Amino acid sequence: MTRVFSGVKPTGHLTLGNYLGAVRRWADVDQRHSDALFCVVDLHALTVDHDPARVRRLTRQAATLLLAAGLDPELCTVFVQSHVDEHTRLSYVMECVANDGEMRRMIQYKEKAARERERGGSVRLSLLTYPVLMAADILAYGTDEVPVGDDQAQHVELARDLAVRFNQRYGHTFVVPRATRPGVAARVMNLQEPASKMGKSDDSGPGIVYLLDEPDAVRKKVMRAVTDSAAGVVYDREERPGVANLLEILAACEGGDPEDLSGVYESYGALKKDTTEAVVELLRPLQARHKALCADPAYVEGVLRDGAEKARGMAKPMVDTAYRAIGLLPA
């Protein structure tokens, strides 16, 4: 059986990008794999300036949205990272396998650190070591597949490198994981800045569709999406990123192909209108389930408690093995 692990960071409200690029596929995965794990990775939310109350709130909200998006706790394990100590236990050991140079080469680190320094702020050490913790998240569970959006490919690659290196040095311990990517809409772009992804941590609201946006808000954002000055609906990611993004979102919502869809539309207006409808319909059932789950917080807490217990049971033997292999004396 294939073991699947993925995580979502509670650094902002979940977006359409998170859903189409990752979470929606997770809901499919759990039908086939009884041991898929999906984690709200709250420790990762502490790597940048944060507000404790907000992280707590977003962690609960992300977990609730995962369940609303169709993850079935009978079929997969849904839990919060900080509830399972094995992640940080293993992370330290993996820091002893990783090199500082390869950490500094991570694109996301370079970008975020540069942005932070520009603002005159300091960079938390945990931002540098974050990919090691992510590798630990993955490796602790003997994960085969990591379904993530494109921007995480480099981090999963690092997890592979660390697994291989550990195994070579200390004996076979870890499964070497691989990233799996969605076909269409692997990377949903910001509607206002189609050159950058629709990230939940960015605060530029008008280009980001949040999963809990009301239909009216969705309509406004999609109708105001930046297209191009050129006329005609053409699918060309490089030259016409704004239109390509809308075509990909529409295709991802309806299960079509962006190239084929481009032939159906004569005007941007019609494309935007249909994209709005498709997104609103996509979000409707999810929002209804979210509302119902919010009315029953004890249920969500129970799911997370059971999830953490199950996750701990899976990770502990693996982390114990790694501790022994690297030379630590068993307690």
Q: Examine the residue annotation and report whether 112 is marked as an active-site residue of this protein.
A: yes
Q: Tell me: does residue 6 bind ligand TRP (CB under 6 A).
A: yes
- Which residue matches tokens 């280009």? 207
Interface with ligand TRP by CB under 6 A: which range of 30-38, 57-65, 133-141, 165-173?
133-141
Residues 6+ apart with CB under 8 A from 126: 46, 47, 133
Sites for ligand TRP among residues 219-238 (CB under 6 A): none
Residue 180 exposed, middle or buried by CB count within 10 Å (0-12, 13-18, 19+) = middle
Min dist CB 155 to ligand TRP, Å, is 6
Cβ nearer to ligand TRP, comparing 202 with 277 = 202
Is residue 41 part of the contact set for ligand TRP (CB under 6 A)?
A: yes
* Under 8 Å between Cβ of 311 and 138: no
Contact track, ligand TRP, 58-97, x by CB under 6 A: ----------------------------------------
Tokens 């979102």 belong to which residue? 249
Helices (H), the chain: 16-18, 24-32, 52-68, 86-95, 100-104, 107-118, 125-139, 153-170, 215-223, 241-254, 258-262, 268-294, 297-325
Other residues' Cβ atoms within 10 Å of the Cβ of residue 226: 18
Nearer to ligand TRP, 18 or 227 (CB): 18
Q: Verify binding: residue 134, ligand TRP, rule CB under 6 A.
A: yes
Bridge partners, residue 80, by sequence: 40
* Token pair 């002893």: residue: 96
Interactions with ligand TRP, residue window 249-308 (CB under 6 A):
none
Q: Looking at beta carbons only, is 36 or 253 nearer to ligand TRP?
A: 36
User: Which two structure tokens, joined as six digits, stand for 142?
Assistant: 């003997």
- Indicate which single residue of 16, 69, 106, 138 sits in contact with ligand TRP (rule: CB under 6 A): 138
Q: Which of 37, 146, 211, 286 binds ligand TRP (CB under 6 A)?
A: 146
Applying CB under 6 A, the residues found at the interface with ligand TRP are 5-7, 9, 41, 44, 134, 137-138, 146, 148, 152, 155
Active-site amino acid positions: 112, 197, 200
